[in-house]
Amino acid sequence: MLAVALLAVPLCGHAGEILVDSGTTWNNLSFLRGQTFVAEDAAAAVAIYYDALPEYGLGAPATVSMALYVGDYSDGTPLPAALASAQFELASGFAGFFDGLTVLNLVPGSTYTLTTDWVSGGFTGIWFAQPWTAFSDLYAGGQYFTQFGTCGPVFPCDLRFRVTPLATVPEPGTLALLGLGLAGLSLSRRRKGG
């Protein structure tokens, strides 16, 4: 019975955050851009770092889209129906991570493709990290790409992005299994003691 209780406990944990928090090259968000990654958790908030370059007087409010797909589509394969998608407005001069998607049905160990695109409004862009600079923190589990291709195997690069695990509420079946295990444990201790 103890084994049953212990089996239920790990289902509530999470692996940790995926974070590329440096950017060496800025690009105007004028066409589809994306990043592939391998999910480490079943539920996560997915964010991209957007930068309207307000220090240059740019960046009226911009409407941007974000979508997540199951599989690796960095090779230009047509995108299927999105697992999750959102369209949102970035404030004038916005610079920072924007958590555009919350996804509750990821499969840990599976590859996903995150995309973003400009829809309308002002000027905004994204940053990506390249390996030949000292402060880049490349992510080994995926790569940055545009609708025109990837950075390539010789000089891989990554979108400035973040995947943050969310605390998941155990399913009722998991809680029932845990309860049965604990009840069995309690019952076996009573029998031994009395």
Round to whole Å and give the CA distance between 146 and 118.
13
Of residues 31 and 1, more confidently modeled: 31
Measured between alpha carbons, how far is 65 from 45 in angstroms, rounded to an integer? 15
| Global confidence as pTM | 0.75
pLDDT score recorded for residue 38: 94
Higher pLDDT, 6 or 20: 20
Give pLDDT, residue 8. 39
Domains along the chain?
16-170 (2.60.120)
